[in-house]
Amino acid sequence: MKSALTVVVLCAISLCANAAPSTTVDNEALPEPVRVPAGQKQLMSATGVGELTYECREKKDTAGVFEWAFAGPVAKLYSSDKKEVGKYYAGPTWESTDGSKVTGKQVAVAPSVPGSIPLQLVKAEPATGAGTMAGVSYIQRLNTKGGVAPATACTSDTKGARQQVAYEAEYVFYGS
């Protein structure tokens, strides 16, 4: 018998994302920081495929030390049948093809597999526009692949340089 987390991982590999979820996320199987609060109902999920942009910048409060800093995301959101259902971009903002969109603020993160960006829990602001995103209160980023900062050197000579890194993640949307 497969655990719920195994099913979620297998689901993401096969681009499992629907307007109505076919697989329910078992929040108890997730790291505690990225679990949604009790009373939240899974509304939908979508697989984001795109790039994260990093910029070489001087570290805050550390003169002469440089690092790759996150500058923003750009991804397309896909359903389980591989149809484009929306996009994800800076804000962070998730926008459905029906025009509704939701932004939010990060609540927590938890480690993912090595070489991948962390799992994440976001508290949503009220959605704009009537449609798919209406009523979304939390968004989880699960089953991440790739997206970590570049391994190339970030120095005073490369200050201001930008690099895009491919990533994939499952976004799960909840409402009360």
List, for residues 9-61, the tens digit of each pLDDT value. 333 333 333 344 456 899 999 999 999 999 999 999 999 999 999 999 999 88
Taking the model in full, what pTM does it have?
0.85
pLDDT at 169 over 50: yes
Structural domain of residue 135, as residue ranges? 4-175
pLDDT at 15: 33
* Beta bridge partner(s), residue 46: 171
| Angstrom distance (rounded) from CA 146 to CA 141 | 13
Q: Is the peptide bond before 37 cis (omega within 30 degrees of 0)?
A: no
- Closest to 159 (Cα-Cα) out of 55, 61, 52, 60: 55
**Could you read off the pLDDT of 52-100 as tens digits, one per residue?**
999 999 998 888 899 999 999 999 999 989 999 999 999 999 999 999 9
144, 9, 93, 174 alpha-carbon torsion, rounded to 10°: -140
pLDDT at 77: 98
Domain count across the chain:
1
Three-state secondary structure call for residue 138: strand
